[in-house]
Amino acid sequence: MLFLMFMMACGSWAGNWEGACENAATGEAREFVIDVDSSKGGEIEGTAFMTIKNGSGQDEIVNCEVTGPANRSGVDFEFACDNGENFVISTEKEGSKLLGYCDNAQESELLLTLD
């Protein structure tokens, strides 16, 4: 745990980040597994699996490429997904976790934890 805290203090965001959020209005939930392979020079690169749960019982798993700027305060995850979706989730460091939102109104909270 001490090593993890040291790496985060130095600005390394490499690792597997997991979290989920739900849109209360639509009932749609999204689960994220983000594998940050590289965290160098203020940029991250990696891949992600996004599971979309729409309440009908059929889950859709989408592959995404993830890039974006990072600093000691957090990461802006820029998603480019196989289903054509492109979006950004901006996060801020909250202890050993990352806090962001899945919507522009900042109502659908996304808390990412390092696996």
Q: What is the pLDDT of residues 13-64, one digit of tens each?
A: 999 999 999 988 788 899 999 999 988 889 999 999 999 998 777 899 999 9
CATH number at residue 46: 2.40.128.120
- Within 8 A by CB and 6+ apart from 101, the residues are 21, 89, 90, 107, 108, 109, 110
Could you give the number of structural domains in the chain? 1
pLDDT beyond 70 at 5: no
Q: What is the pLDDT of residue 11?
A: 55
Count CB neighbours of 103 within 10 A: 14
Q: What is the pLDDT of residue 41?
A: 87
Which amino acid is present at 96? Answer: S
Residues spanned by the domain of 91: 2-114
Give the least confident one: 17-21, 23-27, 72-76, 88-92: 23-27
pLDDT beyond 80 at 2: no
